[in-house]
Amino acid sequence: MPKSKKSKRQRQSASKHSRNVTQSFQRLVHRAKSIRSGLSQARAFTAAENYPTVIDLVKKDRVLRHALSVTNFPKSVADYQDHARLETVSPEGELIWTGTILCSHLEKLERFYQLKQSFHSHFIFGQLEHAQKELDKVEAEFGISLWLIGKRIQVLQLLGGLKEQKDYLESLISIKELSQPIAFLAYWISLRSEENISFSTLENDLSDLLAGGEIADFIRYTLLPYDLTKITRPEIPLSWCEPYAIIDRYEAFVSVLQVQISKEKVIHNKALSNIIEKLSSTGDARLRRIAYIFGSGSIPQDETDTRIYDLYTEGKYLKVIYDEKINLELIARSWALLNACPTKPSKSSLLNVIIYEMFQIITLTKEASSSKQKLKKLSLFIFDHEFSFQIQGFLERSHDHIFIEQYTEVDNIVALNTELGDPWCSSVIATSFSKNELEKELRQINPNSSSLILRHSLITDPQHNQNPLDTLDMPEYRKNLYSAHSEILHNRHQNAIALYKEAGRSEIPFVVETSRRYLFNAFFSAGLVKQSADLAVRQIIEKPSTADTYPLSELCKQCLNQEDLLSDPVLAVLLFISTREGYSKFEKHISDVYENVLDANNTTKPSEIQEPESKEKQEVFIFFLRNVCTPRIMDDTTHFDSVDEIESERIAVCQKLLSIDILNSKTYLNEIRNLTRDRNVATLLSKIQISKIFVDEPGIRMVIEPSLRDYLKRYQELLKSPNLAYQAEKLSKWIGDRLNDRGHPEFRNVKLPASERESLFSAMLLDVASEFAFNPAYGLDTHVSTSIRHGSFEGHLRGPFALEGLLCSSEDGEWTIPRRWQAFFASVSASQQAHIRKCLIRFTQKFDEVIRVYLQRKLHINVTGNEQGLFSFDASEEQLKKLEHSISEETKPEELIDLFLSHCWDLTTQSLDSIRADIKSVAAKNINNALDNLIKNIESKISHQDAAPLIDATARARTAFDSAVEDVVEWFQKPTDLSRDPFEFETAIHVALQQVQNCYVTHNVKPKLYLETSKTKFQGIYLDGLCEILFILLQNCVIHSGYTNDTPLIEINANFNNGTLLIECSNSLSQDVDLEERKKAANRAMENYKADSALRMARKEGGSGLSKIWRICEFNLKISHSIDLSVHDSGNFETKLTLEMMGERDENLHH
């Protein structure tokens, strides 16, 4: 029959084609110098769909068979050796080639998958001994693999700590036959497993390897597999794993297949589809899922159960938590919806740790940010398990599924690793992979599934059909939320707003916060900008950790375009919050809105704004006063003529806050005290050092603290264990030597992490110095750019000459002489005019050249490419050694930061000295020389009398310029100069009195002073500490005297004799005070005036403050001291404080 004849011709043609392909392949293999190189060339010239055919041919050839898979199941570490890999082909080609080879090991891969699942079950639940036994089985049956090495290291880290896993690592890499890349990867996996290495630290340490090239994709797959969709060339991991063990190739195959499908969303090649179908027989859920999605079979029966999703939908949260099926996010959310917190688990129980950290993020606790880092790190431990993708999905994808029109690659890969019965991920599969029948099949299998009904109801318009939500038995707040979602989808925003508000009335905090977030979305999408801003600001004020859940940048842009918001405190607060969250571009608008707010209230002082009546507005008003009405913002306005006026107004603001925000009164009292002290102490200084050199140390601390904490722990671990330090150094050197050996050019010169102490020290110091110098938000160079290089430097030095008309302007190469000389030019000849013009242009060019060198080169950090930079962070060997030796096993992270910041400031101070000298000796000299030449050149052709106006202008300019240079030189100083002039005791008393008066404005604190110290001037180093002590004594008089409305009678006596200062402070006590109880309290206080008690209480507030006096005397003043407290029957409380050696200490010791 025609049909059979055609079929026969097709078979004959296919057979002929197959023979041609195999013959061509054989010729290419045998033509090369070696079988492996021939195999590589033949593979490169063969179409991917023909790989199964040629591989079948190779497997039948006893000579070629081994070259096809050089490392199958190595029985020992020594058997896992180096082999050159085949030339990389396309992603599809690598998948088909590897998949075809893997199909020869189906039974073993099925067994491996079973053992792997069993291992994960024990490992995730913290049953580490059982997990270790499963690994023993894997090694016994399948030999050594990178997968096995990685899992062993992780288990050993959790079971026995750093020493156990490092011993195992050393036992591995000491075997010379072990593949160099495997040793390299094992080294990094060991580092990755260390408890003190955070995800961000690991990512930073791997940054060079991840920077680009083929190795980047390989490293991301093997060492940082948190987000595999960042792999740009999926074929690379498979290609690089080609000479690896079958187990490692299998894991790479599945991962790369998922990445490829997530990106392409289709499988074009029939050969690849057949391979997936075959490999799915191993039972691997990942492959079975893909086989179903891209095949025509039915849904896997063990993936159709929707029970846990139904329980969650119906609000049966306890059942979700304790159900045998585990969905990490649903469990964490269930805890939040129960308004309960899961118990903080032990580190070994990964499952409970993950749920606990998810809960921290969901409920937006203060720990949310660090929890994200912890979850990312945990995902690396189980990168080949579905929980890893649950973590990634939880952290990276949008949780507002119903509002998503197009899913991301992350959504896709998470869905591929989630059971098909999950209603949310099934929608991803239906949308991204065109598998619409999935949702239909699930509804047929689970007709009464509440989660599926809910999913379907959200796309059903309740105005045209009966709302399926009405049939569901679920909590009312959930119905309100989902009904609101449906209204949003159908553009009925007002209905949605009402429903979100209703849901927000729940007594469950998590529901309230979630409702507010959706309510904000409804406001914002409806164009209700003011309501959006009000809600976001109030929520962030109440819970600062919610800030990153709002689109602050877009919200700010919208608000700045709303005329009615430009004078609203809400906008000022929003701009402040946005700036604090990293959107620095909005900082420039804060002062404008601040002034608008003041104008709207008809005042120039924020302390005069009337307090709003409503509680909601009052919270915003308090935040506005506390955080926006600060000296820095006030300084941007024209309302104040001096720094003193600004600080006085800030004190007035704090006093207002004391009356309306009582809970934070201590904060405001401290600020008032500090402002008062700073202002009054400033009057004692011969000169206030105002410098434009600034580094935002709190900001730098925030940036470097997480990574530095990790480094320090590792450093101290090596300090505590010299053997471990030696071991780590030996391992690092061994790996480095082997990686630079021949055979693996792609691994040559790769960066190894700092392991030994010196390398760790250098890494820590480099991190801090880099951030100190170059951090774009907080660093030195940023502030130098803003405050000096960006106009100030040039403008200040240019001013004297510009004022006198000695500088020309240039546009498009054409020079213009200042207008002021036009009349003068009329009195001289044309040739003289031309000469003067030439001289002024030359002077201008010389001036510009000098300034340009500073702006472009000298006033920068000295780095490679700009060796002229005068800000140098090159420390001497002696400085570095001294700094390194100051770090001990007891050093705390904040102390380490202090050490490094102090070191950076020391180097900065050295640089500032050089800059000041350079400006005086080079810049000023060159410009003055240019000025001399200007006069000389003018007088060479014009008489002194004729040129007199110009000569006089240069003289005035020179004087003004010299003064400007002195001003500019003063900019280059560290801003926190705490040196103090010698002072009299009476002056310190008045500083303390002003502090007390500013803090306690209702008390007229005017003590009687009897001072026998008038002829004594104390060294300036004692000023701050003495003022602090006097403040505490006076404060005690006010707050512990028992008076409510009146002020106690206070008397202060001071006597200085033979280096000893005696201060006696007494105050009257109210009749309500029990004198006997007060005597007992005084005795107890004196008993506690000693080292252990004082140090224990020194950081605590409340009480009499005696512990603080002890600490100030002991550590700030560094003097001998004693105190005596007494309560007299007359109703007076008396304090006698003796301070010895006050006048005999070398002032230089305290700088």
Q: Tens digits of per-residue pLDDT, 338-355?
A: 999 998 888 878 999 999
Q: Find the distance separating the first CA and the last CA of the chain, reported in whole Å.
A: 107
| Residue 390, pLDDT above cutoff 70 | yes
Query: Angle at which helices 615-623 and 643-660 pack, to 10 degrees?
Result: 150
For every residue of 305-350, DSSP letters joined together read: --HHHHHHHTT-HHHHHH-SS--HHHHHHHHHHTT--PPPPPTT-H
Instruction: Report the half-sphere exposure of 294 (CA within 13 A, side-chain side).
Output: 27
- Weakest mean pLDDT among 613-617, 748-752, 897-901, 906-910: 748-752
Q: Specify whether the CB–CB gap between 203 and 230 falls below 8 A.
A: no
Q: Looking at residues 148-171, what average pLDDT do you find?
A: 93
Cβ atoms within 10 Å, residue 266: 9
Q: Specify whether the CB–CB gap between 181 and 111 falls below 8 A.
A: no
> For the chain, what percent of residues have pLDDT higher than 90?
44
939: tokens are 């007088």
104-118, 430-444, 459-473, range with greatest mean pLDDT: 104-118
What span, in angstroms and rounded, lies between the C-alpha atoms of 99 and 109? Answer: 12
The full 3-state SS of 881-906, as one line of letters, equals HHHHHCCCCCCCHHHHHHHHHHHHHH
Residue 273: the pLDDT is 93
1067: Cα separation from own chain's centroid: 51
What span, in angstroms and rounded, lies between the C-alpha atoms of 531 and 1122? Answer: 60
Largest Cα span, the chain: 131
Phi and psi based region of residue 406 (left: phi greater than 0; alpha: psi -120 to 50; beta: remaining): beta
CA angle 1022, 1023, 1028 (to 5 degrees): 105
Residue 736: the pLDDT is 67
| Residue 637, pLDDT above cutoff 80 | yes
Instruction: Report the half-sphere exposure of 267 (CA within 13 A, side-chain side).
Output: 23
Q: Specify whether the CB–CB gap between 338 and 331 falls below 8 A.
A: no
Q: Tens digits of per-residue pLDDT, 722-778?
A: 666 566 666 666 666 666 654 555 555 555 554 567 778 888 888 888 888 887 656
Residue 16: the pLDDT is 58
Instruction: Report the half-sphere exposure of 519 (CA within 13 A, side-chain side).
Output: 25
Taking alpha carbons only, the member of 1147, 924, 866, 923 closest to residue 1023 is 1147
What span, in angstroms and rounded, lies between the C-alpha atoms of 242 and 256? Answer: 13
| Residue 869, pLDDT above cutoff 80 | yes
- Grade residue 299 by pLDDT with cuts at 50, 70 and 90: confident
- Weakest mean pLDDT among 365-374, 622-631, 909-918, 938-947: 938-947
Question: Hey, is 1050 helix, strand or coil?
Answer: strand
- Weakest mean pLDDT among 368-372, 392-396, 939-943, 1018-1022: 1018-1022
Amino acid at site 970: E
Amino acid at site 429: I
Residue whose tokens read 């392949």: 25
| Residues listed for the chain | 1151
Cβ atoms within 10 Å, residue 408: 16
| Residue 603, pLDDT above cutoff 90 | yes
Residue whose tokens read 């300034």: 851
Cβ atoms within 10 Å, residue 464: 7
Instruction: Report the half-sphere exposure of 924 (CA within 13 A, side-chain side).
Output: 21
- Grade residue 1151 by pLDDT with cuts at 50, 70 and 90: very low
CB-based burial label for 787 (10 Å; 0-12, 13-18, 19+): middle
Q: Specify whether the CB–CB gap between 364 and 103 falls below 8 A.
A: no
> For the chain, what percent of residues have pLDDT higher than 70?
87
Cβ atoms within 10 Å, residue 759: 16
Q: Tens digits of per-residue pLDDT, 23-64?
A: 888 888 888 888 899 999 999 999 999 999 989 888 888 778
696: Cα separation from own chain's centroid: 16
Residue 928: the pLDDT is 94
- Weakest mean pLDDT among 186-190, 375-379, 673-677, 878-882: 673-677
The overall average pLDDT reported for the chain is 85
Cα distances (angstroms) measured from residue 456 to each of 305, 428, 467, 469:
17, 14, 10, 9
- Grade residue 1146 by pLDDT with cuts at 50, 70 and 90: very low
Q: Looking at residues 1017-1029, what average pLDDT do you find?
A: 80
- Grade residue 3 by pLDDT with cuts at 50, 70 and 90: very low
What span, in angstroms and rounded, lies between the C-alpha atoms of 61 and 646? Answer: 90
Residue 240: the pLDDT is 95
Alpha helices by DSSP H, 919-983: 924-939, 948-971
Residue 375: the pLDDT is 94
Q: H-helix or E-strand containing 816?
A: strand 814-816
Cα distances (angstroms) measured from residue 705 to each of 249, 702, 764:
39, 6, 11
Q: Specify whether the CB–CB gap between 691 and 971 falls below 8 A.
A: yes
- Weakest mean pLDDT among 577-591, 672-686, 800-814: 672-686
- Weakest mean pLDDT among 1-5, 376-380, 527-531, 690-694: 1-5
Q: Looking at residues 440-449, what average pLDDT do you find?
A: 89
What span, in angstroms and rounded, lies between the C-alpha atoms of 328 and 359? Answer: 10
Residue whose tokens read 């104008």: 599
Query: Angle at which helices 409-416 and 285-293 pack, to 10 degrees?
Result: 120
CATH code assigned to 994-1150: 3.30.565.10
Report domain extents, the chain: 2-63, 91-297, 303-450, 458-526, 545-674, 689-977, 994-1150
CA angle 996, 1002, 1005 (to 5 degrees): 45
What does DSSP say about strands 1008-1012 and 1050-1057: parallel, antiparallel, or unpaired? parallel
Handedness of CA 961, 966, 972, 976 (dihedral sign): negative
- Grade residue 6 by pLDDT with cuts at 50, 70 and 90: very low
What span, in angstroms and rounded, lies between the C-alpha atoms of 206 and 780? Answer: 26
Cβ atoms within 10 Å, residue 615: 7
- Bridge partners, 1054 (sequence order): 1011, 1063
